[in-house]
Amino acid sequence: MKLWGGRFTEKTSEIMDEFNASIQFDKRMYAEDIEGSLAHSKMLAKQGIIEESEMNEIHKGLNQIFEEIKKGEFVFSIEDEDIHMNVERRLIEIVGSVGGKLHTARSRNDQVALDIRLYLKKEVKNIRELLLSLEEVFVNIAEKNKRVILPGYTHMQRAQPIVFGHHMLAYYQMIKRDIARLDDCYKRIDVLPLGAGALAGTTFPIDRAFVAKELGFAGVTENSLDSVSDRDFIIELNFVIAMVMMHLSRLSEEIVMWSTTEFGFVTLSDTYSTGSSIMPQKKNPDAAELIRGKAGRVYGDLIGILSVMKNLPLAYNKDTQEDKEGVFDAIDTIKLTLKVFIGMIETMKINENNMKKAIYAGFTNATDVADYMAKNGLPFRDAHKIVGEIVLYCEKENKLISEMKLEEYQKFSKLFKEDVIEKVSIEGCVKERKSYGGTSYSEVERQIKKAREELSTEL
């Protein structure tokens, strides 16, 4: 008989048991469920709601169950629906009727809200550690490539020369913001819902602050209805994970392009590449492609929980059981993805010569020619027009701006002096971009130093 089956005269059908059960996926929260029950029973004893001897029996049984699950000896039952009922059923088998007192002053509604919060707190910390490791890898790559120049792109057209280390530090900044979002999200997870009961609180003289302290929560929830019915903290974590995946997907897209013969900017390690079953010459960037694909999967997890929650009246509804599989999937996906992503970019080879060829193949220093004229008194819009004419001239003559001689420059304007050759060279273009946050060697050095200082307080 089910633990809630007192008012029922018929047994639920097997197909309904299977449909209704969540034990297939929520059993991963067994440690959190037992941890919460240990703290709850301790509070019950402190408040005189159960005897201390009863608490000791309950603790003994819960610790035994923990070991059984850990060793793979515990038999999970679909009939008992979820991790909470499976644990409670086994507890009563071990310690007898006193085990039934554990559920005093709580409901499965506030119990599951507690379990998922405890679980997410742990996983947020795990994800955060991986993100910090990724930040460190970005800084290390930037350090090694702080003098390597490649074309920067807008609209996927060669735009201006930048330092490869600068490019990597852009992603460092993205992940830095993701960590800030994760930390902010953690604050809203870190509140204790236990004590809300089914929806209205409880008539027992419980001490919620005591339980919060026992379980390491920063505080307790303020409203019992809200405590059991909302899952915005799950939605928020799904969003943060989706944001991280978006950032990883963007660099993965670049790596897919950069590793083509047409670009040849990077070569991926064999350890993070695969081959073709029919074309023996192929070396495919499958790690990067899968990361792009898994970003879409995580977006689906976010949309799924948003769709579940959008029309639920207060308070708890069974729909809310659908909150876990999506966030479990998102967590599993981001953790595995980050490990692969870190390995992929750590081991990729940077092909500096190919990057250099790509710079000189385009007119990436055209803006610097216009800046040169503007610095010499010509309105920038007029300078822009003249440089457009210079580019057209170079295209007709099949030459680069950097190959022009002074007399050629002066055909377009007498503002050009001998120093223009050095000023608009690729090296000159990079060196001069000294504005704060720019791509000059000195600015990239500053960004690396600051990033290392930031990481030293975290790692």
Q: Which of 157, 167, 163, 150 is nearest to 250 (CA)?
A: 167
Tens of pLDDT along the chain (459 residues) come to 556 556 666 777 778 777 878 999 999 999 999 999 999 999 999 999 999 999 999 999 999 999 999 999 999 999 999 999 999 999 999 999 999 999 999 999 999 999 999 999 999 999 999 999 999 999 999 999 999 999 999 999 999 999 999 999 999 999 999 999 999 999 999 999 999 999 999 999 999 999 999 999 999 999 999 999 999 999 999 999 999 999 999 999 999 999 999 999 999 999 999 988 898 888 999 999 999 999 999 999 999 999 999 999 999 999 999 999 999 999 999 999 999 999 999 999 999 999 998 988 778 889 999 999 999 999 999 999 999 999 999 999 998 888 899 999 999 999 999 999 998 888 989 999 999 999 999 999 999 999 999 999 987
| In-domain check, residue 8 | no
Residue type, 307: S
User: Are both 239 and 100 inside the same structural domain?
Assistant: no
Burial of 254 (0-12, 13-18, 19+ CB in 10 A): middle
User: Are both 276 and 378 inside the same structural domain?
Assistant: no
User: Are both 268 and 416 inside the same structural domain?
Assistant: no
User: Are both 212 and 264 inside the same structural domain?
Assistant: yes
Q: Report the length, in residues, of the chain.
A: 459
Q: What is the 3-state secondary structure (H, E, C) of 397-426?
A: HCCCHHHCCHHHHHHHCCCCCCCHHHHCCH
Catalytic residue among 13, 53, 276, 307: 276
Q: What is the 3-state secondary structure (H, E, C) of 235-273?
A: HHHHHHHHHHHHHHHHHHHHHHHHCCCCCCCEECCHHHC
Asked whether 333 and 297 are in contact (CB, 8 A), the reply is yes
Rounded to whole angstroms, the Cα distance separating 311 from 131 reads: 34
Domain housing 99: 15-104
Rounded to whole angstroms, the Cα distance separating 144 from 134 reads: 15
Asked whether 396 and 383 are in contact (CB, 8 A), the reply is no
pLDDT at position 312 is 95
For residue 114, the cross-strand partners are: none
CATH number of 430's domain: 1.10.40.30
Quote the pTM value: 0.93
Please report how many Cα atoms fall inside a 13 Å half-sphere around the Cα of residue 263, on the Cβ side.
19
User: Are both 125 and 229 inside the same structural domain?
Assistant: yes
Q: Which of 191, 189, 289, 307 is nearest to 240 (CA)?
A: 189
Catalytic residue among 155, 277, 435, 456: 155
Domain closes at, from 337, 357, 377: 357
User: Are both 308 and 322 inside the same structural domain?
Assistant: yes
Q: Is 247 a catalytic residue?
A: no
User: Are both 272 and 387 inside the same structural domain?
Assistant: no
Q: Is 269 a catalytic residue?
A: no
